[in-house]
Amino acid sequence: FPPHWPQVLAMGCFGRAAAAPSALVCLALWRFFTEPSGSAFLGAAPLVGRAPRSGLSLLRIGIRLQSLGLSAGSTSSDGGVAGASAEEEEEEEDWEAEDEDEPSEAEMQAEADRQLRVLEAKANTGDADSQFRLGRILRKGSQWVTADDERAFGFLRDAADQGHALASMVVGSMLWEGEGTDVDGEESMYYTQVAATSGLPTAQYRLALMYYEGVGEEDGLPDVKSAVLWLKQAAARGHADAAFRLGGMLLSNEVKRNESWAFDFFRQAAEQGHVPAAEAMGLCYRWGTGVTSDVRKAIYWLKKAAEGGNPDSSWTLGCMFREGEGTPKDASAAVRWYTEAADGGHKSAAEELGVMYLMGEGVPVDEEGSAYWFAVSSKIETMQQEAADPDAWMYEYDEVVEDVFNKRRKQGEDVMDHVSDEEKQMWIESQGRR
């Protein structure tokens, strides 16, 4: 059962105690008396009073509506409602299989509409928390609520203008993205700063990025000093991205270089599971940047990053095992790490695998395997070029077309008399791009 809904459990069971198993009543009592601080009133009392259904069905309605955010609940740091866990969802499925009094979709829709009307009526009285909750619901939408970005923005902005910190952060994000309103960088920065001043680390991080991008500056140049100030505040409140970015800035020329401080910020982020920071820790230990060189610790942190899906770390580990850097040479281990890196889109790793399969280094000689990995390397390179320039493949194709036509001209052929209409059109298009 969701731990923050003991009152729902209690009312659902006591309202139809005769229809509910005694064990469920005992569990409801236990939840009610041991976790009162996390309880919230769903509005199940009216349901219990008039709905001819078992306490179990009422309980299920409450849990479902809570998962949509239509009822009061705990709010996450980004303005969302904490949803049920996988185990809770599995339990709910078990109840559905056991109970024949499953509420119909129409009943669920009717109850959702009713609760939405109640929430909107309260929001229209000027209650900031209701405005925030209603805005969040309308922004996300659900099976029973149609999303409406413009109305969502209106309610969220009303809440923000009353000093609701989470609403201010969400409004800042919507203004930045043009979600439900026009894009407005300066207004976005204003609301984000209100949220940041309230102590929300995510808002502080976003505000730092805005200063770094020169938002609100007359000359449009980055305000690095203000960016660092807000990054430090966000990092102090446990924001891993902020700590990682500070570490990177302290190793660059953007601020006064301080390797030991950079290492400390990388460690702060890495210990929270930040994958790029784990890679940075590995490299710091490998090269002795801000800390005494320690290859074993370097391998430890690089493995952490590689296990988190960082192909660059897998590539580095492959090189270290291949060369015997801080560890005995192990070509087979190098092949494993290179393979992981190549599978993650690392071009050089795929290329080295082509060499190792061809030479029989760490694996038996396999010319087909070698050809495969060289082909993978080429494909990765093409994909990278297309990502940098979506029309890159066109340029390469155009060069081939140009070469073919030039060869035909040298042979004295009347080129346009020997190609199809489709090829002529390709030629025209290629000349236009060139």
Interval 119-143: pLDDT, tens: 999 999 999 999 999 999 999 998 8
Residue 87 has pLDDT above 80, yes or no: no
More confident residue, 9 or 170: 170
The backbone torsions φ and ψ at residue 252, rounded to the nearest 5 degrees and listed phi first, read -105, -175
Q: What is the pTM of this model?
A: 0.67
Look up residue 236 and give its two tokens.
Answer: 């102090």
Classify burial at 105, counting beta carbons within 10 Å of its beta carbon; exposed 0-12, middle 13-18, buried 19 or more: exposed
**Are the C-beta atoms of 126 and 91 separated by less than 8 Å?**
no
As a whole number of angstroms, the distance between CA 340 and CA 318 comes to 9
Helix (H) or strand (E) holding 312: helix 311-323
| 244 contacts 280 by C-beta, under 8 angstroms | yes
CA nearest to 156, candidates 168, 140, 173: 168
Average pLDDT for 308-314: 96
Neighbours of 95 (CB within 10 A): 15
Residue 211 has pLDDT above 50, yes or no: yes
For the chain, give the mean pLDDT.
78
Number of CB atoms found within 10 A of residue 58's CB = 26
* Dihedral (CA of 298, 303, 305, 309) sign: positive
pLDDT tens-digit readout, 331-377: 999 999 999 999 999 999 999 999 999 999 999 999 999 999 999 99
Q: Side-chain half-sphere of 428: how many Cα atoms within 13 Å?
A: 8
Give just the sign of the alpha carbon dihedral 144, 149, 155, 161: positive
Radius of gyration, alpha carbons of the chain:
30
Asked if pLDDT for residue 66 goes beyond 80, the answer is: no
Query: What is the rounded CA–CA span in Å between residue 153 and residue 183?
Result: 12
Report helix, strand or coil for 414: coil
d(CA 358, CA 365) in angstroms, rounded, equals: 6
Q: Is the pLDDT assigned to residue 98 strictly greater than 70?
A: no
Residue-level pLDDT at 314: 97
pLDDT of residue 5: 44
Residues with Cβ < 8 Å from 13, sequence gap 6 or more?
20, 24, 25, 28, 55, 59
Count Cβ atoms below 10 Å from residue 217 Cβ, excluding itself.
13
